[in-house]
């Protein structure tokens, strides 16, 4: 018995010596190399570390120095100066499930190709780490990250795990190309559902706070989001800037507040923007809302040639459409004001009141083409219930026929300006007058226009202006058909007889002032010139009793002086 006891004692001593030898060898570079080689040779992973450190002051912790770990043939998942593994009694039944794992001073690459990993922990902690996830659908890069994931149980395709609580802060972060600093994130993951209970960051020289949730289908619910003092410059157009919102399955907005923001991109900018948006859901380019509200104002808004100062917009959203409570802005040195409703049924915009005052507006070079272009599907109809204009200056600088209206006033009732996505005057009545005007270098005074329109015709009941010493008066009827057939009658009394020359009629063989009468018809088509379609008759009588009758057929004029001037004999003085 004594022999067996001594033998057992020797075996125990040998085992203890062996364990102590292994314990000390593992804390050497040679031991670390052997362990790394064994793991790399006997698994699908590569592992290197310089040394293992264990201190009896913290007997449940093992420290690995300068660790590099990842799947064979793939970029390293982990590269850290220090990995602190906290052990517990769990290792007796589940050796690869640690109590805690602390990663310090390194980089963690969250690639789905790296998961699943062979080990787990009740808590993964990061200290001064960087991590990247360029292939997860979130193009994410972060530096100086501190925080934790609990529990940490990597699964196939997800390094973080399918269910965990997350709390992290980062000194700097870039998400899908948008940089931020001093980032704080708290939330949870439940399979494919990501809940962010706290989001905070400094970005674009401002700050962002909020909370949100991402659904399993990629949809988002933003309960609260607040942006303060944002100063953001983008290389994208305005439509491209907001394009990512249209690619989401849905985006449900509970409340978004923007204060004093400045945004800028190619041919667009907004300064000192304040915005409040509530209860709106965006669904693949469309929207829906039960009780949504939008309030916004800015110091300046620029979009292409559109330049607004001090715009103010208040609107309510409902299943029926949008109630535009107020829109006002300074524009082109004047003021614009309107209110009304956009109805989803029929995509119809009905403005209760539209006012333009003090504008100094030059029409864009392509305004005629814009007038003929088909409008977007959301604007199938546009009606102005009340329209008013006061002291406006409107200019067209088209070199072929420039014109200008000075001090333009007017009003209208039930004007339908869009029908079936096409501009026009499809209904209603209007009356316009100006202090002065110029039409292709012909000056006129007090021009006045009155019209009314219906489904079949636009009736110009009055079109008059003073020119020279006389008055021009016109009446016209325009058909609401694709060929836009026009019939007009023009009378002039005491006007320059060649007043029509700058407006397309050839020069007359007589001059001076006189009376004229013109009846003409033609087609104002979008795809054809006007002059070849014109047929008309012109009669002119000047102050010297010279009379001209001319006809135009297909834009070609024929005619002659039919009455020479009559000289009155003078009597001799007795």
At CA 49, angle to CA 44 and CA 55, rounded to 5?
125
Check pLDDT > 90 for residue 384. yes
Q: Please tell me which of 191-195, 351-355, 399-403 the model is most confident about, judged by mean pLDDT.
A: 351-355
Q: Classify strands 360-362 and 51-54 as parallel, antiparallel or unpaired.
A: unpaired
Percent of the chain with pLDDT over 90: 53
With bands split at pLDDT 50, 70 and 90, how would you rate the model's confidence at 571? very low
Residue 119's pLDDT is 80
What tokens appear for 406 in the block? 């000075």
Check pLDDT > 70 for residue 31. no
Average pLDDT over residues 460-476: 94
Whole-model pTM: value is 0.81
Residue 123: strand pairing partners: 100
Cβ distance 102 to 86 under 8 Å? yes
Start-to-end CA span in the chain (Å) = 181
Categorise residue 144: left if φ over 0, alpha if ψ from -120 to 50, beta otherwise: left
pLDDT in tens, 161-208: 888 999 999 999 888 778 899 999 999 988 889 999 999 999 888 999
Residue 109's pLDDT is 83
Average pLDDT over residues 532-548: 90
Please state, in angstroms and rounded to a whole number, the distance separating the CA atoms of residues 122 and 120: 7
Q: Whole-number mean pLDDT of the chain?
A: 86
Cβ distance 445 to 466 under 8 Å? yes
Strands (E), 298-345: 300-303, 306-318, 321-331, 334-343
Residue 1's pLDDT is 55
Say which range, 58-67, 215-224, 452-461, has the weakest mean pLDDT: 58-67
Cβ distance 184 to 207 under 8 Å? no
pLDDT in tens, 299-335: 999 999 899 999 999 999 999 999 999 999 999 999 9
């Amino acid at each position: 018995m004594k022999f067996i006891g001594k033998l057992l004692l020797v075996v125990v001593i040998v085992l203890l010596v062996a364990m102590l030898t292994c314990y000390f060898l593992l804390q050497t570079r040679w031991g670390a190399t052997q362990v790394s080689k064994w793991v790399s040779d006997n698994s699908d992973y590569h592992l290197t570390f310089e040394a293992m450190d264990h201190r009896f002051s913290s007997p449940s912790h093992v420290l690995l120095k300068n660790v590099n770990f990842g799947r064979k043939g793939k970029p390293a998942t982990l590269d850290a100066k220090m990995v602190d593994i906290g052990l517990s009694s769990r290792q007796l039944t589940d050796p690869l499930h640690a109590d805690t794992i602390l990663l310090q001073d390194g980089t963690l690459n969250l690639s789905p190709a790296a998961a699943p990993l062979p080990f787990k922990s009740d808590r993964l902690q990061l200290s001064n780490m960087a991590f990247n996830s360029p292939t997860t659908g979130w193009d994410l890069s972060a530096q100086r990250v501190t925080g934790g994931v609990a529990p940490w149980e990597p699964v196939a395709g997800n390094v973080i795990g399918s269910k965990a609580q997350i709390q992290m802060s980062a000194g700097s972060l870039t998400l899908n190309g948008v940089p931020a600093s001093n980032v704080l994130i708290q939330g949870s993951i439940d399979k494919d559902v990501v809940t962010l209970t706290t989001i905070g960051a400094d970005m674009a020289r401002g700050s962002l706070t909020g909370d949100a949730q991402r659904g399993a289908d990629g949809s988002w619910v933003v309960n609260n989001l607040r942006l303060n003092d944002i100063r953001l410059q983008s290389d994208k157009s305005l439509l491209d800037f907001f394009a990512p919102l249209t690619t989401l399955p849905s985006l449900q907005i509970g409340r978004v507040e923007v204060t004093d923001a400045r945004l800028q991109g190619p041919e667009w900018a907004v300064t000192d923007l304040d915005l409040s948006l509530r209860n709106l859901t965006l669904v693949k380019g469309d929207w829906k809302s039960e009780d949504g509200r939008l309030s916004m104002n800015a110091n300046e808004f620029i979009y292409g040639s559109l330049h607004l100062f001090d715009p103010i917009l208040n609107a309510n959203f409902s299943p029926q459409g949008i109630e535009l409570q107020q829109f006002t802005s300074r524009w082109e040195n004047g003021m614009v004001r309107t209110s009304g409703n956009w109805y989803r049924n029929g995509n119809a915009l009905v403005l209760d009141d539209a006012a333009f005052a003090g504008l100094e507006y030059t029409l864009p070079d392509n305004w005629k083409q814009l007038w003929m272009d088909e409008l977007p599907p959301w604007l199938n109809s546009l009606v102005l219930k009340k329209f008013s204009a006061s002291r406006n200056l409107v200019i067209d600088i088209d070199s072929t026929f420039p014109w200008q209206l000075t001090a333009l006033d007017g009003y209208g009732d039930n004007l339908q300006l869009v029908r079936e996505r096409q501009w026009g005057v499809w209904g209603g009545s209007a009356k316009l007058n100006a202090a002065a005007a110029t039409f292709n270098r012909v000056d006129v005074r007090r021009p006045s226009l009155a019209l009314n329109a219906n489904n079949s015709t636009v009736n110009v009941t009055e079109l008059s202006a003073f020119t020279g010493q006389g008055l021009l008066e016109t009446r016209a009827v325009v058909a609401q058909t694709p060929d836009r057939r026009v019939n007009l009658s023009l009378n002039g009394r005491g006007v320059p007889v060649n007043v029509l020359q700058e407006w397309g009629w050839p020069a007359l063989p007589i001059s001076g002032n006189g009376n004229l009468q013109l009846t003409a018809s033609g087609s104002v088509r979008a795809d054809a010139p006007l002059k070849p379609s014109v047929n008309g008759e012109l009669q002119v009588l000047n102050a010297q009793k010279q009379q001209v009758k001319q006809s135009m057929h297909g834009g070609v004029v024929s005619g002659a002086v039919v009455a020479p001037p009559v000289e009155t004999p003078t009597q001799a003085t007795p």
